[in-house]
Structure formats: structure tokens, C-alpha cells
Amino acid sequence: VSYVWNSDYGGLDWPKKRTTVLKIKAPERPFYWRATALDAFVGDNWREDLVATQPRVTAGDRAELVPRSRDWIEQEVTIAGLRDRHLVGADEPVAYEPTGMPSVSYAKGGIALVVPGQTRGKTYFVWSSVRHPTPKQLVRSRPEYPMEITIDRGLSVPPFGTPGRDLIVREKIATHTSPYSLLYREAKRIVGRAHNPYAAVVAIESWLRDSGRFAYDEHPPAVPGVPPLVAFVTETKRGYCQHFAGAMALMLRYLGIPARVAAGFASGTYSDGTWTVNDHDAHTWVEVWFRGHGWLPFDPTPGRGRLDASYSASSKSFDASAAAALVGAGSAIQRLLQSEAFQSNSNVRGEHARSVPVAPPNNHRTLLLVGLILLALAGLGLSVFLLKAVRRRVRYLNADPRRVSAACRRELSEILLDQRIPVPSSATLRELGELLDSELEVRADTLVAAAGGARFASPASAGHEARRTRDEARDLRRVLRRRLSLVDRLSGALSLRSLRRA
């Protein structure tokens, strides 16, 4: 069995008899087996770019775009009925050991190619970087990307969150690819005022997986004169995995989020330590790049597979209610995630949807008791909040610059503790600032510098540095209110962790 991985929207015709293409010894959890990444959008199609790179043949190497702290998954792949020049591995392959293979070349994105092709019965080893960040971690990932986001070879757009980017993108689309203005407009409508890339990604993935809007169809109708992906999203709403993945990746790029199409195979079936993959498991999905996490898979195609990752709507462990709380109160994305139709639809939420909790019968005595408990908890929460606010204010009223510096150090420590981030009691101001940057993605350099000046500067300038410390601390609190989700802000305000440290 052979494949052409570049996108083709003309329809699918599967052979009636299923053929085993790969046998893979790997852990018993569902992986997607990736053959290649289609990272170039040319004309109306996603294609391999295949930029040559140095080989990675042992597990001792590290890919520069893969987080170094992640564990690697080892796989032993045996070629059965597959005739293809791509080596296949889980998620994002980062190292290969193609012992006994003919000449192997490597391309960026974890792609390995065998020349002249693979041989039936041959076995090779692959190490993959498999990440499972939580939705909370992805919400905190800032849209800081190496360069402008390339749509195709003639069009690049500013990253997500760039001021004034909408006008820039609309002007560029009008000049380069005007038929796709409808796709960009639809992407903006779906994500609304998404506050972070993850909110936009999960919105589009969930929207496409909603079988009330879209249908999986291996012979979808064509619309003359309209690009296939535009017709799929705006008119027919019928297609197969290449339509779903291609549309999602392109919409994300228009929004300024790095995305590409991945091609390979869904998990297959597991028995006795081995995954058996057949030709009908061939599949395409989407990979999205997040700062600090690298390329992560998402699957917008309803009913075709499931990812073992709680951040994706295609996973059976996806918690729609928790994700809704993180992406922003009152948003269209939140309303979609909280809808009963979304939470009960197995196509949307992987193969096995989690049941939706049902409210208990309306019992007046129970409601009264619950109300009293909630009132007591609200009173306790308000007391904790006021105690923290008063204590912070009193600390900064001190005229001694050294005490102001100490107040700053205590505040940084308490912010981290209340967000459930471990803080050594001996941590310095600089170390606390580094923790804020790495864990909450909030820069505190200027505050740390001012507090350091208040503590160590000459008496003539220490007073000025103390005043600057108060101002910078106030600015930091404003940044945190914007950066953290409502759930994080509330849990931090009511947390007792910092009070225990006092």
C-alpha cells in the first residue's frame, strides 16, 4: 500500500480488504503515527516542504524546537504492507535508529526519508517527544513566535495579538488571495475576542467537530470556482480529514497562530504490546506550536480518531467545562464548550463522551442548606481577600526603603504560592522574578531591579527606588489580572497558602 501525503480534495476510495501496513511496539495509549508534516500551503493545497537538516540517529540528540524537559517515547516499528519512503513515528519524532535501512535523509519537522523506499519486514526504532500539557498551561503560553506567520510563499501575517493586525491581514488577503477572505472572516467570527491562542485553537477544533454543522463525507460535493477549503467551511460543510485538518490549519495561520497539517495514521488496534495499523487508518490532523511546549496535535475531524491529550476536544479526557472556564467568561467559545449538545456529542469529544452532570431534584430544604453554606464560604472568602489586601497595603506604607524591598519580595513569593507554585523560603528577589516569568509568563525585571535598588542603593537614591518599587508592584498586579484567567485570579485571591507561609 502506498500513499501520496500531499493534500487531495477529490475524494477517497478505500480498498474493500484491509491491509496491515505497520506493526509498532509502543506503550498502550493511543498515538497518532506521523509520516510527515505538510507545512507549505501552495495555491489551494497543503504540501511537504522537506527542508533538509542534519540526521538524528540516536536518542542522545535533542531537537531545538522540542522542550528539553520532556520524556521521549521509544517505538519499534516493523514494516508490513507499507510501500512508502517516510519513516513513521508517534506525534513528533525527534530521533531515529534506522539500522539496516538504505540511505536515509532527514527534513525539518522530524521527517525521515528512506531512499529508494522501505522494505517489507524491516524494523527500525523511533524516539518521539510526546507532550500532554493541561489547558491551563496552554492558556498561559504567550503568542511569542520567531517570525511572521507564513500563509503561503507570497503572504505572511503578523502574529496573534499584534495591535492592528486585522486591518493588515485584510489588506494582504485582498492583494494576494481574495477568495480566502471568507475563510478569514469565518475564523474571526468563531474565535470572537479570544484572549490567547489556545482559546482560538480549541474554538475552531470544537466548531469543526460539531456534527450538527459538519458531516464526514469521503465524496464531498465540489463548488465550481471556489477553493476547496473555502467551499468546505462556508458552503458544503462536508468533507474528510484533509478538509477538516486543512481548513483548521489555514484558519489558524490567518489568525497569526503557527499551524500545519500532519499526515500519517490513526492509532490502529492494540494487542499484546503491539499496535497493528492498517491502510484504512490513514489520517491527517493538525499540529499547533505553543511557546514552551512545541508542536501539539489537534484533531478537528469528527468520528475518525481520538487523541490521548486532555487539551484537545478530540480526547475522551477533554474537560469541556474546565476549558470553558479558562478561555474567557461570556465568550462565544465558552458558550459552545458549555452547551449540552457539545458535552454529550461523542463525535465532538472523542469516541467516548463524558456524561454531563445532572442537577439534583429541587428540594427546598437542600437548597436552603446549600445557600447557607455558600453564604458562609463567601464570608470566609471575603475575609481572606481583605486580610491579604490590608496586609499588603500596610507593608508598603513603611518609609524604610529596605522594608519596602522586603515587602516586594514577600508579595512576589505570595503570588507564586497562591498559584500553587512551590517557592523555596530562601528564594532571592531575582529567583522569584525568574519563577514568575517561567511559571506565569509575567516579566518582573523592572520590579526586581527597583526593589534591589531600594535595598542596596545609596541613601540618596534608595528613597526614589522605594517609590519606584511601589509603582512597579502596582503595575505587576495589573498585568497579572490581565494574564491570569478568572478562575486563577479567584483561586489565588482565596488561597490560604501564602497566609500559612507568613
Average pLDDT of the chain, as a whole number: 82
Choice between 477 and 358, residue whose per-residue pLDDT is larger: 477
- Strands (E) in 115-162, as ranges, are 123-129, 149-152, 155-157
Does the pLDDT of residue 59 top 60, yes or no? no
Q: Is 374 a residue whose pLDDT tops 90? A: no
Q: What is the structure's pLDDT at 344?
A: 56
Determine the Cα angle at 381 with ends 439 and 481, to 5°.
35
pLDDT at 147: 63
pLDDT at position 294 is 86
Task: Read off the C-alpha cell for 369.
Answer: 442548606
Q: Is the peptide bond before 297 cis (omega within 30 degrees of 0)?
A: no
- Per-residue CA distances from 484 to 173, 196, 319, 326, 439 (Å): 33, 11, 19, 9, 11
pLDDT tens-digit readout, 245-256: 999 999 999 999
According to the model, what pLDDT value does residue 159 have?
Answer: 87
Three-state DSSP class for residue 16: coil
What is the model's pLDDT at position 343?
58
**Residue 85 near residue 29, CB atoms below 8 Å:** no
The structural domains of the chain, with segments of one domain joined by +, span 20-129, 135-263+282-344, 369-501
pLDDT at 379: 74
Nearest Cα neighbor of 413 from 405, 423, 404, 403 is 423
- Give the containing element (helix H, strand E) for 173: helix 165-176
283-337 per-position pLDDT tens digit: 999 999 998 888 999 999 987 777 888 888 888 878 777 777 766 544 556 666 6
Confidence of residue 33 (pLDDT cuts 50, 70, 90): very high
Checking if the pLDDT of 65 tops 50, the result is no
Confidence (pLDDT) at 483: 78
Of 152-156, 182-186, 206-210, 350-354, minimum mean pLDDT range: 350-354
pLDDT for res 60: 46
For 425-449, how does the pLDDT look when each residue is reduced to its tens digit (9 = 90+)?
778 888 888 888 767 778 888 999 9
Instruction: Give the other-Cβ count within 10 Å of 470's Cβ.
Output: 18
Banded model confidence at residue 351, pLDDT cuts 50, 70, 90: very low
Topology of domain 135-263+282-344, per CATH? Answer: C8orf32 fold (3.10.620)
Q: Is the pLDDT of residue 478 over 60?
A: yes
Q: What is the pLDDT of residue 424?
A: 79
- Provide the pLDDT for residue 390: 79
pLDDT at 121: 83
User: Dihedral through CA 344, CA 346, CA 349, CA 350, nearest 10?
Assistant: 160
- Identify the residue with better confidence: 460 or 368: 460
pLDDT, residue 355, reads 29
Which range has the worst mean pLDDT, 28-32, 224-228, 261-265, 269-273? 28-32
What ranges in 56-154 are assigned the alpha helix state H?
135-139
R_g of the chain computed on alpha carbons = 26
Question: What's at 397, amino acid-wise?
Answer: L
Residue 363, classified by CB atoms within 10 Å of its CB into exposed (0-12), middle (13-18) or buried (19+), is exposed
What confidence score (pLDDT) does residue 347 get? 52
Q: What gap in Å lies between CA 429 and CA 395, rounded to an integer?
A: 16
Does the pLDDT of residue 280 top 90, yes or no? yes
